[in-house]
Amino acid sequence: MSKVKALAYLSKIEPYLPGDFSVEGVSETVKLSSNESPLGASPKAVAALDRISGDLKTYPDSSARLLRMAIGKKYGLNPERIVCESGSEQLINLLARAYAQSGDEILYSQYGFIAYKIAALSVGARPVAAPETHHTTSVDNLLSLLTERTRIVFLANPNNPTGTRIKYSEIERLRTGLPEDVLLVLDAAYAEYAIDEEYQDGCTLVDTPEANVVVLHTFSKIYALAGLRLGWCYAPAEIVGVLHNLRGVFTVSSAAQAAGIAALEDEQHIAQSIKHNTEARAFLGDALSQAGLKVLPSSANFICVQFDSAESAAAADLLLRQNGLIPRTLNEYGLSDCIRITIGLSEHCERVARLLTKT
């Protein structure tokens, strides 16, 4: 047995379970388990990838300058305050490494994205989950669990895996209730799918004198570039500096940078993806609700269906899988009575609806 020992606290980490992508014995499957975009990437992003293939020998621009400028233009943000990484999950981990350590606490909502818990454990911090109300973040419960040891609060809005979200006024209330030395990380991975006018990702809170808010975005969802690994954050200048010191130099490939820029520019494809998601999400949600199933209100590109028991959820999961549609079970979230289903193409939503309304 090896005498080389990893840090003892790392043994508490339960690895992240990615969504399944195949079912034994079923040859044709549709992956509805990882909240990927059914319309795929913009053809312009694909063309940009083709172009970059002519120069793979050159290292990427480590500062991702052109990409940051393109993000700044699209989202109305200062490019100097944007940090790009190989997926926003990397930024979650970097922020945990930079701002928490053994003995500290990292706070998040009960059914918050599981990467927050993993990030906390990976730096030896204590993960603290604030109970939710009706599968929705409770700002009161988050605030009530603040202690002197709290260093970071992670909040996905809309949240994965529930799909629920809280109002922007609640985010402001959370931010106001935090001590200035606690970092608030607002994870806007699903921002583009939250279409009602009241929604804001929180970037305006970054530019306040307290300088303790960071907003995360990803190219994995609406831009459909999950396979290329690309995410970014908007952060106060000091935090940008810390992230640059900590991150690897060439973590964002030339391919990801080129495709990201092209994807941002394809307004038509973005609009089409949002429109499809909005309509198909309403169709599937309504079909299941009318059949008596409980569908959590979703502002994202998936729905979370709650069954009357873990057994019923497992039966629905099996039925879908046997028919080639792969949803996501949520046992590791403590939601064994739920399954999460990505909004696929209309025909996939229709098949899901037909199967689940028969049970």
Pick between residue 33 and residue 150 the one whose CB is nearest to ligand PLP.
33
Which residue, 156 or 178, is less far from ligand PLP as judged by CB?
A: 156
**Interface ranges with ligand PLP (CB under 6 A):** 35, 87-89, 113, 156, 160, 187, 189, 218, 220, 226, 231
Q: How far is the CB of 137 from ligand PLP (least distance, A)?
A: 12
> What's the order of all strands across the beta sheet hosting 338-342?
294-295, 302-306, 338-342, 328-329
Q: Closest by alpha carbon to 211, among 179, 238, 232?
A: 238
CB of 219 to ligand PLP, least distance (A): 7
Query: Apex CA 67: angle with CA 270 and CA 90, to 5°?
Result: 90
Residue of this chain nearest to ligand PLP (CB atom): 87
Cβ atoms of 353 and 135 closer than 8 Å: no
Buried b (16+ CB within 10 A) or exposed e, 128-159: bbbebeebbbbbebbbebbeeebbbbbbbbbb
* Chain centroid to CA 6: 29
User: What does the DSSP 8-state code read for residue 291?
Assistant: T
Asked if 99 and 116 touch (Cβ cutoff 8 Å), the reply is: no
Q: At what angle do helices 88-99 and 237-246 cross, to 10 degrees?
A: 100
Shortest spacing between CB 210 and ligand PLP, in angstroms:
23
Which of 34, 135, 114, 38 lies closest to 338, judged by CA? 135
Q: Which is nearer to ligand PLP, 40 or 103 (CB)?
A: 40
Residue found by looking up tokens 């606690």 in the block: 182
Q: How far is the CB of 35 from ligand PLP (least distance, A)?
A: 6
Nearer to ligand PLP, 189 or 341 (CB): 189
**Min dist. Cβ of residue 4 to ligand PLP (A):** 29
The residue (of 127 and 231) whose beta carbon lies closer to ligand PLP is 231
176: amino acid identity, one letter: T
Name which of 331 and 359 has its Cβ closer to ligand PLP: 331
CB 22, min distance to ligand PLP, A: 19
